[in-house]
Amino acid sequence: MSQQNHSFDDLGLHPRLLEALKDDGYTEPTPIQREAIPILLQGKDLLASAQTGTGKTAAFALPTLQLLHEGAQALVLTPTRELAIQVQESFESYGKHVPLRTVVILGGVSQHAQVQAIKKGPDVIVATPGRLLDLMRQRVLRLDKVEILILDEADRMLDMGFIEDVQKIVRKVPKDRQTMFFSATLSNDVLSLAGSMLQDPEEVAVAPPATIAGRIDQQVMFVSGANKRQLLSWLLHRDDIPRALVFTRTKREADRVVQHVIDDGISADAIHSDKNQTARQRALAKFAEGKVRVLVATDIMARGIDVDGITHVINYEMPTTADNYVHRIGRTARAGAEGIALALCDVAEVPLLNEIQRSTDSKLTIVEDHPFHSSAVAMMFSGHPDKPKPKGRSGWRSFRPRGRMSR
């Protein structure tokens, strides 16, 4: 696709969709939107990858809203409840001038409202696999009218063990359909799954796998495990971190970190799979509205959080894969803004840090200018052949985000 298209007007979208985009203040499509929308408007299958936060939802929602025939349905599968809700909200926003009904189907809440919405005949169904299968088994919902099938964050579906559920669902969808795969990263497993579900697909990759947006300033602080909580408190007591998303590997540690932060006088909440959906949405809303300054989350939330103005992502515990790292830090610097990603790395996590740097082909800047710097951990890292250059005593800098806030 030629790079001369710098307006949604050039992509062949219906005037009612363009009006909705104008209402929301969008004038220039992102690269994934420029590449994907014209292909999808031709009715072709698509396998697409792009960095997180680059507008993938609009890239599939806009053509879907335009292509749906009367009496047909589109089905969007997502790996997390939060992402399902946000995708459904995007469809409603982009389709505000189009007479189409949407419904979101997810677990963790009563199914009553979802059943009632299904009875009204939705045109767009956004669902997590588990609850969708439950309703299909209850014969509340059939998928024989689906003409567009979309897998959002397909690699996460595989990571979370949804592959069998996805295959069961796909078997109930008509073979004569348009299928779209969207993801920030593509693995061999995803490509294999796509090969069994897509027919002669076009491929769009606006960034290679495990690529990190250049607007994210990646930094690492070496610290002993015993001092991590104190370092986190020291960071959060600074006035240049207005909104921070903190990641842990386990639900238990997330709860512990939240309690520590609250005890230290900082407003915080946790979001993870042990909380019911109402509690998760309440925590996310408080964070988005600025009622809490810190949200602590596990990796299951790394692709379901789209909040304006997250200035800092703090990896309190290093992720176990480079893909998870990419998705975690992709919660900041969205839609043209800038952000900082901080990794608090103890000695046991140095191999993870090395692997992340190797897989993402990026170097994290070492920040030594903090009271809990561990020279011993830094020495363990110093053997890495592609070690980043330390910043030294002037390394820590305050950060004020610039650019557009993400939607």
What pLDDT, in 10s, does the model give residues 56-111? 899 999 999 999 988 899 999 998 888 899 899 999 999 999 999 999 999 888 99
**Residue whose token pair is 């909104």:** 243
User: What does the radius of gyration of the chain's CA atoms come to, in whole angstroms?
Assistant: 22
pLDDT reading at 392 higher than 70:
no
Average pLDDT of the residues in 183-209: 83
What's the residue count for the chain? Answer: 407
**2 occurs within a structural domain:** no
**399 occurs within a structural domain:** no
CB 231 within 8 A of CB 370: yes
CB 136 within 8 A of CB 143: yes
Edge-to-edge strand ranges of the sheet holding 178-183: 102-105, 124-127, 73-77, 146-152, 178-183, 46-49, 202-205
| Nearest Cα residue to 49 out of 188, 128, 154 | 154
Average pLDDT of the residues in 346-359: 91
User: Could you tell me if 374 and 248 lie in one domain?
Assistant: yes
Q: Which of 181, 205, 229 is the last residue of a domain?
A: 205
- The one-letter code for the residue type at 106 is L
d(CA 63, CA 116): 27
User: Could you tell me if 124 and 243 lie in one domain?
Assistant: no
**Residue 147 gets which letter from DSSP?**
E
User: Could you tell me if 163 and 262 lie in one domain?
Assistant: no
Half-sphere exposure of 299 (CA within 13 A, CB side): 17
Beta strands in 106-252 (DSSP E): 124-127, 146-152, 178-183, 202-205, 216-222, 244-247
pLDDT digits (tens, 9 = 90+) for 366-390: 999 999 999 999 988 854 444 444 4
**79 occurs within a structural domain:** yes
**295 occurs within a structural domain:** yes
| pLDDT value of residue 406 | 33
- The pLDDT-based confidence of 402 (bands split at 50, 70, 90) is very low
**406 occurs within a structural domain:** no
Comparing 18-27, 124-133, 206-215, 381-390, the range with the smallest average pLDDT is: 381-390
| pLDDT value of residue 1 | 40
| pLDDT value of residue 5 | 47
**Residue whose token pair is 């109402």:** 278
pLDDT reading at 400 higher than 50:
no
Question: What H or E segment, with its residue span, contains residue 105?
Answer: strand 102-105
Among the ranges 42-46, 50-54, 204-208, 239-243, which has the highest mean pLDDT value? 42-46
Percent of the chain with pLDDT over 70: 88
CB 326 within 8 A of CB 183: no
pLDDT reading at 247 higher than 50:
yes
User: Could you tell me if 192 and 101 lie in one domain?
Assistant: yes
Average pLDDT over the chain reads 87
- The one-letter code for the residue type at 311 is T
User: Could you tell me if 191 and 95 lie in one domain?
Assistant: yes
Question: What H or E segment, with its residue span, contains residue 284?
Answer: helix 277-288
The CATH number assigned to the domain holding 321 equals 3.40.50.300
User: Could you tell me if 83 and 181 lie in one domain?
Assistant: yes
Q: Which of 160, 180, 205 is the last residue of a domain?
A: 205
User: Could you tell me if 97 and 144 lie in one domain?
Assistant: yes
Locate 28 and state its tokens.
């220039």
User: Could you tell me if 250 and 379 lie in one domain?
Assistant: yes
Percent of the chain with pLDDT over 90: 61
User: Could you tell me if 139 and 250 lie in one domain?
Assistant: no
| pLDDT value of residue 52 | 63
The SS3 call for residue 51 is coil
d(CA 295, CA 281): 12
Query: What is the pairing mode between strands 124-127 and 73-77?
Result: parallel
Comparing 3-17, 267-281, 381-395, the range with the smallest average pLDDT is: 381-395
Residue 310 belongs to domain spanning: 216-394
pLDDT reading at 134 higher than 90:
yes
- The pLDDT-based confidence of 209 (bands split at 50, 70, 90) is low
| pLDDT value of residue 346 | 95
Half-sphere exposure of 180 (CA within 13 A, CB side): 34
| pLDDT value of residue 70 | 84
pLDDT reading at 188 higher than 70:
yes
Between 115 and 192, the higher pLDDT residue:
115
Task: Write the Ramachandran bin of 159: left for phi over 0, alpha for psi from -120 to 50, otherwise beta.
Answer: alpha
Q: Which of 182, 205, 228 is the last residue of a domain?
A: 205
Q: How far is CA 398 from CA 240, 315, 334, 340, in A?
A: 6, 18, 19, 10
| Nearest Cα residue to 245 out of 256, 228, 258 | 258
DSSP codes, 27-74: -S--HHHHHHHHHHHTT--EEEE--TTS-HHHHHHHHHHHHPPTT-EE
Average pLDDT of the residues in 314-335: 87
Number of domains making up the chain: 2
pLDDT reading at 176 higher than 50:
yes
pLDDT reading at 19 higher than 90:
yes
| pLDDT value of residue 51 | 66
